[in-house]
Structure 1
């Protein structure tokens, strides 16, 4: 086991915690957020939505089950930094292929251990998510006021456009498994997509074309998709002007749309609704959400620091008017009444704020992928009926294949 070095965590408001280094030595900056989960730390750290965030794990023991290649949600660790109380001395699990501390070190991710994460979490809960720096080794010996100033000089999450930094640079295709023929083709905009998402779509007979965040509507239309999907991702939805304009073109074309997390916020903005920054966000598992469509309560996994602002004066159980027709708040968080889903009435579009693909949580919300398939099927049937009606109209007007010249 590698020898730990002195480390210090400095928040932008001056609160300081001293502990030991964990992961790589050096310094890192980001937004301090806390994640409430006892399991799934590897899925959390490799989620691109955590880009430029320093994750405080509320569970005291982290690293017990090690790391493995299967639980990676992307090709790398995206967390800007990791904060734990008691890292595991050694991993113990039949699936383990390595030690978490070593994995963080190899990835160059700076962390800190041995601090009172409960006190830090309570501080963030009361004061809100804020900028933070972790300094270890020689960097930890600098003057605290100087370190705090360096934290304050870093950019805040509000206004940050980060999707392009985590998106794929080249399109790729995920096909249905076992050589099964595809029932549908979906254009999936990668805003920080987790690997499980296109996998779950492909398992339902969808040929998933994963596209860069800079993709244009013309490029999407050239694929002749049966539907469009917007993934989760980091950053402020108010900064995603290209993605919002792209989504408006999708809505105008009435192509079925499904969005999760960041995609939910972008659907809101495309419809003309506003978004805002939550005090400390929803991150972690076991978060109850009411699906108003079924009346069922789902236990869900979350990672979002921004949320949809429902129009003032309109109850969340009533539809709101938009340029694309009425939209309903289809899901609501039971802890704080945050809007957790949208369902359009005049265009085939819906979205949720949480993660139905999350391997770190239960599978209560996986049905949403089936709901998307139902939307695709309805759209395809309607399209076929319209073509059939047009063909019959041409026949009746003497313009069919058998018409006399």
Structure 2
């Protein structure tokens, strides 16, 4: 029965998903609002221009397009774009031969990422504010993501000790597609998420370099992700080469995936795509919807196709990883314990205790760059007998409504407190 269900899902996942566009919301960038700044990113990892796009230009957007695809088209009316704005600068590529436009776009993108980093740096320079980066999951509209970020901020403020700690939140909105469960949004988000994290390296390196330029150590940073936000952060801090076939064998014509493949290791020679460095990187992942190979691949467990790859998984230094673990999560298990079926998009990091113990928990000992790895059980043990699965959401009877587990998770992430009075930590042999 489960195999029939899996086959049904594979077939129906070829439906029509749509992009989540942020052209209007992107005007909120480089603006401090309620202790938060926001950054908006398309499905291919390009940051949105913060100004210059008249609303009428973005009302009829063709599907399957990112910023580059839209604004490099000959029928995109750049004459209506406001001069001396970020959108106007991107539009200048229309004056170039087609073969030169992509590289021009990448050079403008680097300038925009540097601008976002400079703005963030100016907001915290000379303050005691700690920076917390928030990442939502796939199939999440702007409103859905904003609601998720609100819940995340409430939990951070509630659990951080001592109480007088100050935070500046960075809302990282990314195009994780949207659609019904059988629309193909999930498979598309899995394909685009690693590109988003890869391009985000530009922003984080620029941010870190501003401290180094003043002779200071880069700060401690904290990440809080939900669902497929985990594979975005995975490609930011490392090389998730084995997590997705598209990352391994891109088509020759696919500039985005070929750029990832070229610079995936993030060596110093990769320039703006090198792996970012901070004094510490603490990463909390609720319902991590990504395979364990995003973070670690064991040499003795590689198959023949994996043997030639070096430096995969987490490559950043001073990293602490805190996972939730829920073998009842409806979305992660696909209802029938199919979390490790690659054809449906493996999601074992947040739902398979055995794989966590085999591949992730061992990083405590096997990787010098990883400080700690822990996981907290989030199964709803009080659910009635007839409710066989748990919700994937943060609120509305989701993860954050399990008070004991939530306390344990945030004490570890924010307070470096690994006490476990209620025995919620995942115990490995």
Check whether TM > 0.5. no
For Structure 1 versus Structure 2, the TM-score category normalised by the shorter chain is 0.3 to 0.5
In proportion to residue count, which structure has more strand? 1
Query: Structure 1 length as normaliser, TM-score?
Result: 0.34
In proportion to residue count, which structure has more helix? 2
Query: Structure 2 length as normaliser, TM-score?
Result: 0.33
Greater Cα radius of gyration, structure 1 or 2: 1
